[in-house]
Amino acid sequence: MSDIAFKSVKELSDMLAKGEISSVELTKVYIERTAALDGKVHAFLFKDERLALDGAEASDKRRARGETLGALDGIPVALKDVIAVENQPLTCASKMLEHYVSPYTATSVKNLQSRGAVLWGRLNMDEFAMGSSCENSAFGPTHNPWDLSRIPGGSSGGSAAAVAACFCACSLGSDTGGSIRQPASLCGVVGMKPTYGLVSRYGLAAFASSLDQIGPFARTVQDAAMLLGAVASYDPKDSTSVNTPIPDYAANLDSNWLKGKKLGLPKEYLPEGLDTQVRAAIEKSVEKCAAAGAEIVEISLPHTELAIPVYYIIATAEASSNLARYDGVRYTHRSDKAKDIVDLYYKSRAEGFGEEVKRRIILGSYVLSSGYYDAYYLRAQKVRTLIRRDFEKVFESGIDAVVAPTSPSAAFKLGEKMSDPLEMYLNDIFTINVNLAGLPGISVPCALSSEGLPIGFQIIGKPFDEQNLFSCAHSCEELFGMRGVLPNLQ
């Protein structure tokens, strides 16, 4: 049964449909594998074996009656610890919410439940999704399954590591500035951020509301397409949710998509000084796409470099407002040293938040403060318009998809960048533009470095055109030969 854990969602779904395995058997495979190996990886913050097995039993009973809720019925899915499930903990990897239990369920999760998916555990992350290495978790970092001395990326590091380590069939994460695509790249799995507004944010603990999106992690593009198709929906409970048709992405994948398509390669994404192995991997991948019939066009996204200041102004400003709710009064950690109500806010927040979260709240408060609002926040919003227009012009010129590295380097060592926040921020240069422009993006594994570490190939699509993005990624995946290449975790 051991090789079962490595299979794709599609393969497992077919096996369940044919009765070759039961959901309970499958769920036990992941429970046992996680119990044996997660001590090394630390992908999970919370596991409830009984709850997962209850879900699996219910799925098996449905099948025994000849019923099914679809392709995900009985498939174990794990969630980043930022997405609410009623009566389950939700910590955001923060001491502030260490004892919090969700009173309601996120719409994305309700969608999964209505399709019979088995909820299996909650995954580690950077505190409040702020970070690029998963080292900002208040409960200790996650380790990269490819090399345990390295970071898995972040902020959805647990979600990426759990899929790479085959502790679950697939998982959900959230992406505000690359928090799905970058860890997917560093852990050698597929990670996808949908167009802003496609997946409901109801029940997603907010970091930067104009940027946050929930999205899938999986071991194949087809699996990611299945999972997104299941969680995406119009939701009146999220005022930024967009009412748009959700096609069956997985069923409509076109594996000959590249033939005759124009792929834009932005020169700003292959800058001087880019890691030579990343550059070589991207250039080789682009050559493969060309050999499959795609036309490669050098393009320019001239405002790319400005994305770092724009993002870190907008995201921290929104975060300083969103995280004001964690005040020690209603549902968070409360300091027992407070003299009065105001002191309660100061001390509860000082005790509850970690270093990076404090840094970002302070930065966000500063850029919004009187006298600086116009110079920072308003100006950043204007440059955000310019960044979006860069992409609009490219797509209007006939480019079908933009291709680029996902991350400027493969996974770095734990602790390597913790002392320099600016250097850590610069790590997000290839992913944050996509959030600022609200576009869909996906990372597909394309190569291993000489140290045996995965390198991701990022594809950026037109808004609400997830179908073409998935078809492009699926076609690339077939060329890159990385499907089924997994870490040797023992």
- Asked whether position 327 contacts another protein by CB under 8 A, the answer is yes
- Evaluate whether 125 touches 448 at the Cβ level (below 8 Å): no
Site for another protein in 375-434 (CB under 8 A): 375-376, 378-386, 388, 421-422, 425
Residue 159 or residue 320: which is nearer to another protein going by CB? 320
Q: Does 264 bind another protein (CB under 8 A)?
A: no
The residue annotated as part of the active site, out of 179, 285, 407, 475, is 179
Q: x/- binding map, residues 81-100, to another protein, per CB under 8 A?
A: ------------------xx
Say which of 7, 10, 80, 261 is annotated catalytic.
80
Q: CB–CB of 445/192 below 8 Å?
A: no
Determine, following the binding rule CB under 8 A, whether residue 358 of this chain makes contact with another protein: yes
CA 343 from chain center: how many Å?
36
179 annotated active-site: yes
SS3 103: coil
**Core vs surface per residue 35-71: b (16+ CB within 10 A) or e:** eebbeebbbbbbbbbebbbebbbbbbebbeeeebbeb
Least separation, in Å, of the C-beta of 60 and another protein? 31
Asked if 325 touches another protein (CB under 8 A), the answer is: no
- Give how far Cα 386 sits from Cα of 111, 178, 247, 305, 439, Å: 35, 20, 31, 12, 14
Closer residue to another protein (CB): 226 or 424: 424
Cis preceding linkage at 241, omega within 30:
no
Stretch 429-458 residues interacting with another protein (CB under 8 A): 435-439
For another protein, which is the closer residue by CB, 288 or 388?
388
Residue 308: HSE in the Cβ half-sphere, 13 Å Cα cutoff? 11
Looking only at the bridges linking them, the beta strands covering 44-46 and 295-299 are unpaired
Asked if 317 and 360 touch (Cβ cutoff 8 Å), the reply is: no
Query: Among residue numbers 97 through 156, which ones bind another protein (CB under 8 A)?
Result: 99-101, 103-104
**Does 269 interact with another protein (rule: CB under 8 A)?**
no
Cβ proximity to another protein, 17 vs 329, nearer residue: 329
What is the closest distance, in whole angstroms, from the C-beta atom of residue 201 to another protein in the complex?
A: 12
Q: What are phi and psi of 23, to 5 degrees?
A: -65, -35
Task: Please pick, among 155, 185, 200, 471, the residue that the annotation labels catalytic.
Answer: 155
Interacting residues with another protein between 221 and 250 (CB under 8 A)? 236, 239-240, 242
Residues tagged active-site: 80, 155, 179
